[in-house]
């Protein structure tokens, strides 16, 4: 019986998203994995030793016959990296994974696509791919069908959206993840050292659980929601030595008041 040929997957970059994509592909049958980075990097050691893949510390000789090329580098380098990739197979697809870049950053090649997981990636985390939304976009319907099929290997929730829609979702993701995490850091600085998680994690978990079954607007609580100026003044006094956080407190409180006012209008 003839052995089934494996699909070749190239991942360029060795950061957090590259790691989690590689882990997923490494655990699937019929995929041969190649990892490239623009220079030697100790992170490549984990790819080489912990996953079934071949690693390269240069972009000089990227194989030209892979089925899918995932560019997992910082946005400003995507276009530059795309120019280094020659597609010899007519069915090869070049992909970027950014939520904030147009598909045209990949150049004028016909077979280009976007594969954007709406998720936060840290290397040590276990990712629930099944529940992670994946936004896809493609230059043509043939590529779109192939990318949609590929996305199903990861998630039960993939959707085809254009750049404007994807950028809005990327902005929303920054608000709920990156900005919120920055507030976690600021909050941790206000309470006893080494006890941030102990004091705040139950509250954080409950806040997230609430919006699984409630509109966030209805789930809002706190002094700004109640327009409790006495409590807010006490908080602002505590922040008198931290003008940056004091300003953020005021702005977010005003946002909450505005949102609640609109709700009752």
The domain locations on the chain are 7-161, 166-264
Find the distance separating the first CA and the last CA of the chain, reported in whole Å: 71
pTM across the whole model: 0.92
* Range of weakest confidence among 65-74, 221-230, 256-265: 256-265
Confidence tier at 245 by pLDDT (50, 70, 90): very high
Residue 246, token pair as written in the block: 């004091």
β-pairing, 112-117 vs 134-138, is antiparallel
Query: Which pLDDT does position 58 carry in this prediction?
Result: 96
Query: Which pLDDT does position 99 carry in this prediction?
Result: 98
Query: Which pLDDT does position 192 carry in this prediction?
Result: 82
Mean pLDDT of the 73-83 span? 97
Distance CA 26, CA 17 (A): 14
Query: Which pLDDT does position 1 carry in this prediction?
Result: 47
pLDDT of residue 265 exceeding 80, the answer is no
Which 3 state secondary structure label does DSSP give 10? strand
pLDDT, tens digit, for every residue of 198-211?
889 999 999 999 99
Distance CA 94, CA 138 (A): 10
Residue 114, token pair as written in the block: 């976007």
Confidence tier at 110 by pLDDT (50, 70, 90): confident
User: Quick check: do 7-161 and 166-264 share a fold?
Assistant: no
Q: Do the beta carbons of residue 146 and residue 93 sit within 8 Å? A: yes
Q: What class, spelled out in words, does domain 7-161 have in CATH?
A: alpha beta
Q: 243-264 and 229-238 are packed helices; what angle lies between their axes, rounded to 10 degrees? A: 160
In the DSSP assignment, the letter for residue 130 is G
Query: Which pLDDT does position 196 carry in this prediction?
Result: 64
Helix (H) / strand (E) containing 54: strand 54-56
Which CATH code, of 1.10.260.40, 1.20.970.10, 2.60.40.10, 1.10.1040.20, is assigned to 166-264?
1.10.1040.20
């Amino acid at each position: 019986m003839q052995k089934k040929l494996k699909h070749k997957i190239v991942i360029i970059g060795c950061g957090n998203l590259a790691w989690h994509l590689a882990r997923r592909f490494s655990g699937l049958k019929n995929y041969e994995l190649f990892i490239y980075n623009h220079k030697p990097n100790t992170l490549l050691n984990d790819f080489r030793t912990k996953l079934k893949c071949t690693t390269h510390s240069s972009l000089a000789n990227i194989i030209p016959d892979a089925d899918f090329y995932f560019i997992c580098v910082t946005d400003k380098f995507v276009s530059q990296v795309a120019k280094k990739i020659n597609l010899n197979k007519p069915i090869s697809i070049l992909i970027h994974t950014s939520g904030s870049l147009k598909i045209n950053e990949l150049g004028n090649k016909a077979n280009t696509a976007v594969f954007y997981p709406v998720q936060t990636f840290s290397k040590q985390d276990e990712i629930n791919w099944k529940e992670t939304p994946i936004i896809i976009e493609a230059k043509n319907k043939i590529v779109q069908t192939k990318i949609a099929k590929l996305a199903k290997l990861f998630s039960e929730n993939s959707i085809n959206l254009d750049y404007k829609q994807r950028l809005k979702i990327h902005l929303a993701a920054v608000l709920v993840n990156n900005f919120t995490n920055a507030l976690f850091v600021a909050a941790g600085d206000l309470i006893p050292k080494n006890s941030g998680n102990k004091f705040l994690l139950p509250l954080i978990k409950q806040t997230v659980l609430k919006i699984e079954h409630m509109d966030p607007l209805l789930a809002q609580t706190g002094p700004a929601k109640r327009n409790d100026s006495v409590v807010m003044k006490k908080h602002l006094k505590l922040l008198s030595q931290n003008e940056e956080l004091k300003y953020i407190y005021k702005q977010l409180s005003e946002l909450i008041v505005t949102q609640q006012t609109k709700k009752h209008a």
